[in-house]
């Protein structure tokens, strides 16, 4: 009887506590908490959906060929990767079919959950049974700093996106697809012809959450990358006498924690893992390809070779540079087979099958480009394969590829290669200025630790495979366009090599070596955090993420020559059928009306219109004939972009433009961003 009364009192107490807490938060609400909780719920739905879909995919593969995972966690990571591929495919099909409507998307999500309910239930049972591996006090501290780093990145995810490329195409294109109800190619945005696997996921995010949910999707790939490097180490490095000693932590677990620490605290990782760029997804798919090939090399399990092909294809479908992955692992497989004297027609056929799978996963984007522009890899090879249906003169092509190679070699390539480590340490901006600076920092620890692996007595085959991949990927990167942000996909691989090296040195070295290694790692990690906070001082995402600063204030302040106040006016006041033409502005994501934004690497039709018109009245008549209701002119941003050749007026064109804006009504103006009404 006493127990019943105790439970009743406890329930009554909990109800009172809930009422008091609710009353408190009604009086002092947490700013934006509803949006944050909504996005977290949407993220969990996305991750659960991907893992359940991946479970079904891997089960189907296992029915044809054997796939054995080393642990439930490893299995979950592979399931997430395979499931994201399935979600991307569904979003692509819905987009090309013109079915981008909120109701249809939610019906698809709910149908997927209904179809996969058994996999979801089994997934919950597995996750609830997961146990933390035994770790010592030192590695508990390592885990603590991993969580601190991940927590910092998680907070920044709730800041509205401000990175330039996100506002021009990574998020702008999904936003336009949603407004149009389908995937299409905006005439003057050449980025719409790039592969867009991550953009498909961002489209889903914008349908089901807010503008910050794509950041969280990217963050999920970062977390699974950390788990993947941990599982790689546990699978391959849990061997040897040390691992069998009672009371000692397995060497693979130690190496895995150190690898995850190095990756999670790399400045570039912390800056990009919570952004709506595509590097997070590309790094994950790249590492999963290498992980799969490593398992195949050790076990000759064909299923993992096919998974390597799938992940390589997903990398290619994320960014054109993803083609490095299947090429590099194919070379590595040929070398392994030659070394083991197992090269045969059957083994070569398997490698070809792997590459065929990779191409198959990239094929949808290639076919889309063939239909739209006649070139499967546009804008690359434009002078060989040509292109159609897009105004892209030679001068625009030269400008685009000139920018890609702006960090290219200024002297002898061998001298540049010799100087590279020092240049990355001392002047990383040499390999990425402007917004590319996000990928410039945190590389030093890998230059210090990766070469040391060659000094170890025991050189595991898996580590040599990773070194081979790093070498091949690095050579292609260095010879093509050495921007450090484009080397980001190597970070998880480098983290594993470095984590293994540090753990092995700690095991084999004496007291002095251990103190030296610990001191070096701590010093470099402190430097990484210092660089991170110095860069974030400029971006300043924390106050707005925590609700202390409003979204509008943040975007008006942090976007350079910010168009946001004008976009806010447009979204609140203009009819939904109005059409705006942007002049001197590319960042269209926050504009929720139909708009045309020309890219700096595409021809400027507005300048041509002004140059070809008889006078400003003729120019205005043509603008109205195109059903453009407003012109948005960002004067300062246009000045910044002037070196790219925008607004290249002739004397007559300049006169027409000046007379036009003199005679148009200024509907809105703030910070030299003018919104003109054309009718």
| Run of H or E including 629 | none
Reduce the DSSP state of residue 668 to 3 states and report it.
Answer: strand
What does DSSP assign to residue 134? P
Element (H, E) at 66: none
Q: How far is CA 14 from the centre of its chain?
A: 43
Residues listed for the chain: 679
Structural domain contains residue 10: no
Residues 623 and 669 in one domain: yes
Distance (Å, rounded) from C-alpha 45 to C-alpha 105? Answer: 13
CA 287, 464, 344: angle at the middle one, nearest 5? 90
Q: Give the HSE-up count for residue 377: Cα atoms under 13 Å, Cβ half-sphere.
A: 14
Q: How many alpha carbons lie under 13 Å from residue 198 in its C-beta half-sphere?
A: 32
224 and 192 within one domain: yes
- Tokens 């719920």 belong to 41
- Of 537, 534, 65, 469, nearest in space to 291 by CA: 469
Q: Sort strands 665-670 and 594-597 into parallel, antiparallel or unpaired.
A: unpaired
> Which of 539, 570, 596 is at the close of a domain?
539
The token duo for 511 is 């007291």
Q: Tell whether 105 and 181 lie within a shared domain.
A: yes
Q: What is the domain range of residue 422? A: 38-539
* E strand or H helix at 22: helix 2-27
Does the residue 20 lie in any domain?
A: no
Q: Distance between CA 381 and CA 386 in Å, rounded?
A: 7
The verdict on 237 and 378 lying in the same domain is yes
Same domain, 455 and 306: yes
The reported pLDDT for the residue numbered 434 is 60
Query: Are 659 and 526 found together in one domain?
Result: no
Q: Is 126 exposed, middle or buried (0-12, 13-18, 19+ CB in 10 A)?
A: middle
Rounded alpha-carbon distances, angstroms, from residue 185 to 95, 477, 666? 12, 29, 31
Return the half-sphere exposure (C-beta side, CA atoms, 13 A cut-off) of residue 106. Answer: 7
- Does residue 13 belong to any structural domain of this protein? no
Q: 674 - beta bridge partners? A: 633, 669
pLDDT of residue 552: 94
Residues 372 and 520 in one domain: yes
Q: What is the largest CA-CA distance in the chain?
A: 96
Last residue of a domain, one of 477, 510, 539: 539
| Whether 658 and 614 share a structural domain | yes
554 found inside a domain = no
Question: Is the N-terminal amide bond of 348 cis, ω within 30° of 0?
Answer: no
Residues in the chain predicted with pLDDT less than 70, given as ranges, are 1-7, 133, 239-250, 393-399, 401-436, 481-482, 603
Task: Please give the pLDDT value at position 679.
Answer: 83
Same domain, 526 and 665: no
- CATH code, domain with 564: 3.40.50
Cβ–Cβ under 8 Å, residues 653 and 607: yes
Q: Is 163 helix (H, G, I), strand (E, B) or coil?
A: coil
Tokens linked to 505: 């040195």
Q: What pLDDT is recorded for position 512?
A: 81
Q: Supply 594's token pair.
A: 């139909």
CA 461, CA 146: separation in Å to the nearest integer?
28
From 539, 571, 600, the end of a domain falls on 539
572 is a domain residue = yes
Domain count, the chain: 2
Residues 535 and 564 in one domain: no
Q: Which two tokens stand for residue 646?
A: 């925008």
Question: Is position 45 within any domain?
Answer: yes
Quick: pLDDT tens for 380-408.
888 888 888 877 766 666 667 666 655 55
> Is 120 part of any domain?
yes
- Residue 666's φ and ψ, nearest 5 degrees, are -85, 105
The DSSP-derived string for 450-470 is TGGGGGSS---HHHHHHHHHH
Long-range interactions of 557-561: CB distance < 8 A, separation 24+: 558/162, 559/162, 559/167, 559/587, 560/637, 560/640, 561/634, 561/636, 561/637, 561/640, 561/671, 561/672, 561/673
Query: What phi and psi values does residue 669 have, to the nearest 5 degrees?
Result: -155, 125
What beta strand segments (E) does 28-126 contain? Answer: none
Distance CA(367)–CA(267), nearest Å, equals: 37
Give yes or no for a contact between 264 and 146, defined as CB atoms under 8 angstroms apart: yes
Paired residues of 580 in beta bridges: 595, 630
Coil/strand/helix, residue 56:
helix
User: Looking at residue 232, what is its pLDDT?
Assistant: 96
Task: Give the CA distances from residue 429 to residues 243, 424, 570, in Å, rounded to whole numbers and listed in that order.
Answer: 43, 8, 37
- Does residue 283 contact residue 492 with C-beta atoms inside 8 Å? yes
CA 482 to centroid of chain Cα atoms: 19
Distance in angstroms (rounded) separating the CA atoms of residues 25 and 21: 6
DSSP state of 672: T
**Are 530 and 604 found together in one domain?**
no
CA atoms within 13 A on the CB side of 408: 10
- Helices H / strands E in the chain, number of each: 31, 5
- Residue 7 forms part of a structural domain: no
Instruction: Note whether 386 and 444 are same-domain residues.
Output: yes
Contact 354, 330 (CB under 8 A): yes
Res 214: pLDDT: 97
């Amino acid at each position: 009887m006493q127990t019943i009364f105790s439970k009743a009192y406890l329930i009554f107490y909990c109800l009172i506590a809930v009422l008091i807490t609710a009353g408190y938060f009604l009086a002092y609400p947490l700013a934006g908490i509803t949006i944050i909780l909504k996005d977290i719920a949407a993220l969990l739905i996305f991750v659960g959906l991907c893992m359940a879909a991946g479970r079904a995919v891997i089960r189907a593969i296992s029915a044809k060929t054997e796939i054995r995972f080393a642990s439930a966690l490893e299995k979950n990571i592979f399931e997430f990767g395979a499931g994201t591929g399935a979600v991307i495919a569904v979003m692509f099909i819905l987009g090309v079919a013109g079915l981008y409507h909120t109701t249809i998307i939610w019906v698809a999500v709910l149908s997927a959950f209904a179809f996969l309910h058994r996999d979801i239930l089994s997934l919950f049972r597995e996750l609830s049974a997961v146990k933390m591996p035994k770790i010592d006090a030192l590695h508990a501290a390592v885990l603590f700093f991993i969580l601190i780093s991940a927590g910092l990145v998680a907070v920044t995810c709730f800041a509205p996106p401000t990175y330039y490329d996100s506002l021009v195409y990574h998020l702008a294109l999904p936003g336009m697809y949603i407004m149009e109800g389908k995937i299409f190619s905006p005439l003057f945005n050449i980025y719409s012809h790039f592969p867009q696997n991550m953009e498909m996921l961002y489209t889903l995010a914008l349908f089901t959450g807010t503008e910050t949910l794509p950041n969280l999707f990217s963050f999920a790939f970062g977390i699974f990358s950390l788990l993947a490097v941990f599982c790689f180490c546990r699978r391959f490095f849990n061997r040897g006498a040390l691992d069998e000693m009672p009371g000692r932590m397995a060497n693979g677990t130690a190496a895995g924690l150190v690898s995850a620490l190095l990756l999670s605290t790399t400045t570039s990782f912390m800056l990009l893992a919570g952004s709506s760029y595509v590097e997070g997804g590309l790094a994950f798919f790249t590492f999963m390809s290498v992980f799969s090939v490593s398992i195949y090399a050790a076990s000759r399990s064909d299923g993992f070779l096919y998974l390597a092909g799938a992940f390589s294809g997903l990398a290619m479908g994320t960014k054109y540079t993803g083609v490095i992955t299947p090429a590099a692992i194919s070379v590595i497989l040929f070398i392994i087979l030659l070394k083991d004297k197992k090269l045969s027609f059957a083994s070569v056929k398997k490698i070809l099958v792997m590459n065929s799978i990779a191409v198959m996963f990239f094929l949808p984007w290639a076919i889309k480009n063939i239909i739209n522009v006649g070139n499967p890899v546009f804008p690359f090879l434009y002078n060989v394969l040509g292109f159609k249906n897009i105004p892209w003169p030679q001068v625009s092509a030269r400008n685009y590829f000139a920018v890609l190679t702006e960090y290219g070699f200024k002297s002898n390539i061998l001298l540049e290669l010799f100087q590279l480590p020092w240049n990355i340490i001392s002047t990383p901006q040499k390999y990425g200025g402007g917004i590319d600076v996000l990928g410039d920092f945190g590389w030093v620890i890998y230059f210090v630790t990766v070469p040391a692996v060659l000094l170890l007595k025991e050189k595991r085959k898996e580590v040599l495979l990773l070194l081979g991949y790093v070498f091949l990927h690095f050579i292609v990167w260095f010879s093509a366009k050495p921007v450090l942000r484009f080397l980001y996909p190597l970070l998880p691989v480098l983290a594993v090599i470095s984590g293994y090296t540090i753990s092995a040195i700690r095991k084999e070295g004496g007291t002095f070596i251990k103190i030296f290694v610990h001191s070096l790692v701590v010093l470099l990690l402190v430097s990484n955090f210092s660089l991170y906070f110095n860069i974030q001082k400029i971006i300043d995402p924390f106050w707005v993420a925590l609700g202390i600063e409003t979204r509008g204030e943040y975007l008006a302040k942090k976007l350079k020559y910010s168009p946001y106040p004008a976009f806010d006016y447009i979204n609140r006041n203009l009819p939904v059928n109005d059409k705006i033409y942007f002049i001197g502005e590319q960042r269209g994501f926050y504009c929720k009306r139909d708009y045309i934004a020309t890219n700096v690497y595409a021809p400027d039709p507005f300048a041509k219109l002004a140059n070809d018109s008889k006078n400003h009245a003729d120019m205005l008549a043509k603008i109205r004939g195109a059903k453009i209701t407003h012109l948005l002119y960002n004067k300062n941003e246009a000045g910044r972009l002037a070196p790219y050749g925008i607004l290249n007026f002739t004397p007559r064109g300049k006169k027409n433009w000046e007379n036009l804006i003199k005679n148009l009504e200024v509907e809105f103006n703030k910070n030299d961003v003018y919104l003109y009404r054309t009718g």
